[in-house]
Amino acid sequence: MSITIDLSGTSALVTGAGAGIGSEIARWLARAGSSVSVADVRAEQAQRVVEAIVEEGGRAQSIVADCRRDEEVDRMVHEAAAAFGGLDIAVNNIGMMAGRGTGPSTTLDGEYWRDILDQNLVLTALCARAEAQVFLDQGRGGVMINVSSGESTRPSPFMTAYAASKAAINHLTQSLAVELGPSGIRVVAVAPGTTLTETVREGLTDELIAATVA
């Protein structure tokens, strides 16, 4: 059984779309007919995803933005809305391991915790703020999808900070759904399990592999 999804005439923004899960989300949205803004801090990788979409017959543009800067978040969202006649779908896929991989909770210092909470929870919240404002200004509703993680719903040894930040995204999503729902804005989260993306492959440790197998 297959389900056909027709997103013709819509415009979508996907953050962290230069590789991994984000790139696949962008490509599948385009296959369904949406015009996609591929946003990433890495220009070359974002452009490669755009080229892949165009080769498959879709419409896309790349947006280079560093979402750690508030003004870059606002620019990214407004650029996405301006490119294809508004914004209908926003996928907040930014999610990182703070560049230091995984490890025992006793080794995670304050800098690590602050960095990982910022790059997961805070950046998702800031993107959501900017997207919600565009949806409200347009007055036609919209769909916001926050990418959480399966690690947020189960004990996650050696991934405590990452799992906690993703669990916070779940609560953020629920709160935004109640707040924005009356304005016709749907806010949902998806929680993928472990996916062997480039970043995950680089960050795996022997401890995490052993815990997963056990």
**Catalytic residue list:** 148, 162, 166
Farthest-apart Cα atoms in the chain, separation: 50
The answer to whether the Cα torsion of 64, 6, 150, 213 is positive or negative is negative
Taking the C-alpha atoms of residue 119 and residue 115, their distance in angstroms, rounded to an integer, is 6
**Measured distance CA(114)–CA(191) in Å, rounded:** 22
Distance of CA 56 to the CA centre of its chain: 22
Amino acid type, 92: N
C-alpha to C-alpha distance for 162 and 149, rounded to whole angstroms: 9
Angle between helices 110-117 and 160-180 (to 10 degrees): 30
Please, are residues 74 and 67 in contact by the beta-carbon 8 Å criterion? no
The owner of tokens 């949406």 is 34
